[in-house]
Amino acid sequence: MEWTTNSLGRAIPTEIAGRILRPYGDMEAVTRFVPGKKKPCAGDCAQIARRRLDKRVASWDELLDRLSIRDGATISFHHHLRNGDRIVNEVVSRLAARGVRGLRLAATSLFPVHDALLPYIRSGVISRIESSMNGSIGSACSHGEIEEVCILRSHGDRQRAIAAGELKIDVAFIAAPCADSFGNANGLSGKSACGPLGYARPDSQNAACVVVITDGLVPYPCQHWSIQGSNVDYVLEVESIGDNAAINFGTTKLTRSPTQLIIAETTARFIETAGIMKDGFSFQAGAGGISLAAIVFLAKRMREARVKAAFAHGGGTGALVGLLNEGLLGSIIDLQSFDLEAVRSCAENPNHIESDPYASYGPLAKGCVADMLDVAILGATEVDIDFNVNVNTHSDGLLLHGIGGHTDAASSAGCTIITAPSFRKRIPVIREKVTTLTCPGKYVDVIVTERGIAINPIREDLVEKVTGSGLPLVSLEELMHDVQKITGVPEAPHFKERPVALVEWRDGSVIDIVRELDV
């Protein structure tokens, strides 16, 4: 056995059982994190290291000086503050003022409040968006105003793309209603409380640099770590990260639209008749008027039949919280909160489980929450006679919505129900071919409209269960013709050849493209 001596004079064998031993030296290979250094650096850090770590920077300018974001960088944001977010616009305008160009914006979702980005899109400060594109930004993309081809991903696919290195984030800006100086953060408390912060978790784990921006700084340690400070480089305290009152998705009041109510009630009736509504079942529903009403009608049936659900998944609402408190629901697995009542309940009721895109939808995970769902109630802008669903563009070809968790939930839940009116204004929703294909028909089991229910023939089990039950069953083809009699047959929109956005499937393959409108 050969021996050597380490820097403290202790005798160390050079090798034991085939392992070469490295003697301890004054220049430690592992040392404490120093904000601003890309990697923990080798060296004698004994003196600076033992001071309490404080990742705070004094101002936006100091932060941006330290980040030195270059042209073409990819910056990311989460959408937990929904239409109340102030951080995306703040960061982009400050970067623009510093002359940065060609940014790639990889927010988990964008909202109408972000229409303020349009001038930066037109001037080339932002040259690509990998996110959802709604309203004016979607329209700008459709009209070819965004320099590069954009990418639409579901929440699950986005997590996969980040983990796989397909979506490389240079700086993740994480708005946090509550954070400590170390960067631990959550959305449960603080004046801007917005509920979970899970959408930002993949970004916090994979981005080259992570910034927590908070208007609710608390002494270390903050109580609940949605974001682990160990992943965070800098903490910036600001006056306000946004207006949490604006997270309300539409209204939490039950819709008064009789057409929506018919669809919602038919949906609930289907779920009961098909035998899905039984003790211990689970469901996910969006926050649209129909989904919300469907939950209210389903709850009524659960009450009457004395059935309790194990859990609901997705966006928390006051309506779901009501069911939780009533004991009709075992727990809510929350990805986000759609109203302040859900936010409050997340903080107070231990039966909320905060999730993230990996746990909820991760396409490469060893199963996800969506796989545990018995039924998912989702919306659509169009459905075609082969059950293919479009959630991204309207019939006129305008890009108007992100995918959200649609494809993740649709392809995983035991029964996927699409609720939609058969026409909106004069626009038929049931089409021969969808304008943009977001989700293949094989994952779509049931379409519920005000004019009846269409069941995918591949779901023989469902067809069998509800046949003869008095539910108004229709074929999509019949329905399409009936609706065309009301609306007339629309012309096809005109497109140029140039793709303006890719629509990814959950595995990163391209399921469709969106073309530039020819107007």
Inter-helix orientation angle 87-97/60-67, to 10°: 70
Is residue 470 close enough to count as binding other proteins by CB under 8 A? Answer: no
Is residue 519 close enough to count as binding other proteins by CB under 8 A? Answer: yes
Query: How many C-beta atoms surround the C-beta of residue 322 within 10 A?
Result: 16
Is residue 487 close enough to count as binding other proteins by CB under 8 A? Answer: yes
How is residue 454 written in tokens? Answer: 């269409």
Write the single-letter amino acid at 172: A
Find residue 19's DSSP bridge partners: 16
CA nearest 438: which of 33, 111, 132, 100? 132
How is residue 304 written in tokens? Answer: 């009457």
Is residue 256 close enough to count as binding other proteins by CB under 8 A? Answer: yes
How is residue 63 written in tokens? Answer: 């932060």
Beta carbon nearer to other proteins, 175 or 398: 398
Residues in CB range of 308: below 8 A, 6 or more apart: 279, 280, 302, 327, 328, 329, 330
Is residue 494 close enough to count as binding other proteins by CB under 8 A? Answer: yes
Residue with tokens 């964008």: 110
Find residue 315's DSSP bridge partners: 336
DSSP state of 262: H
Q: Which of 27, 41, 46, 486: binder of other proteins (CB under 8 A)?
A: 486
Q: Which of 149, 262, 307, 353: binder of other proteins (CB under 8 A)?
A: 262
Applying CB under 8 A, which part among 6-14, 104-112, 384-392, 484-492 lies near other proteins? 484-492
Going residue by residue from 409 to 448, which x/- string records binding to other proteins, judged by CB under 8 A?
---------------xxxx---------------------
Beta carbon nearer to other proteins, 231 or 266: 266
Is residue 397 close enough to count as binding other proteins by CB under 8 A? Answer: yes
Applying CB under 8 A, which part among 88-96, 255-263, 308-316, 338-346 lies near other proteins? 255-263
Nearest distance, CB of residue 202 and other proteins, angstroms: 37
How far apart (Å, rounded) are the C-alpha atoms in residues 380 and 388? 10
Applying CB under 8 A, which part among 117-125, 170-178, 216-224, 479-487 lies near other proteins? 479-487
Q: Which of 23, 396, 414, 473: binder of other proteins (CB under 8 A)?
A: 396
Beta carbon nearer to other proteins, 373 or 454: 454
Is residue 516 close enough to count as binding other proteins by CB under 8 A? Answer: no
Q: ∠ CA(316), CA(387), CA(445), 5° rounding?
A: 55
How far apart (Å, rounded) are the C-alpha atoms in residues 120 and 131? 16
Nearest distance, CB of residue 451 and other proteins, angstroms: 7
Applying CB under 8 A, which part among 56-64, 116-124, 320-328, 490-498 lies near other proteins? 490-498
Residues in CB range of 500: below 8 A, 6 or more apart: 141, 142, 144, 146, 149, 150, 399, 514, 515, 516
Cα separation values, 30 from 123, 204, 234, 315, Å: 45, 22, 21, 41
Total residues contacting other proteins by CB under 8 A comes to 24
Applying CB under 8 A, which part among 107-115, 239-247, 259-267, 280-288 lies near other proteins? 259-267
Beta carbon nearer to other proteins, 70 or 303: 303
Q: What 3 state SS string does 316-369 have? A: ECHHHHHHHHHCCEEEEEEEEECCHHHHHHHHHCCCEEECCHHHHHCCCCCCCH
Nearest distance, CB of residue 222 and other proteins, angstroms: 44
Beta carbon nearer to other proteins, 64 or 293: 293
Beta carbon nearer to other proteins, 159 or 422: 422
Secondary structure element (H or E) that encloses residue 326, with its range: helix 318-326
Residues in CB range of 319: below 8 A, 6 or more apart: 252, 292, 295, 296, 299
How far apart (Å, rounded) are the C-alpha atoms in residues 170 and 263? 44
Q: Which of 40, 102, 440, 493: binder of other proteins (CB under 8 A)?
A: 493
Nearest distance, CB of residue 282 and other proteins, angstroms: 30
Contacting positions for other proteins (CB under 8 A): 256, 258-259, 261-262, 395-397, 424-427, 450-451, 485-488, 490-491, 493-494, 517, 519
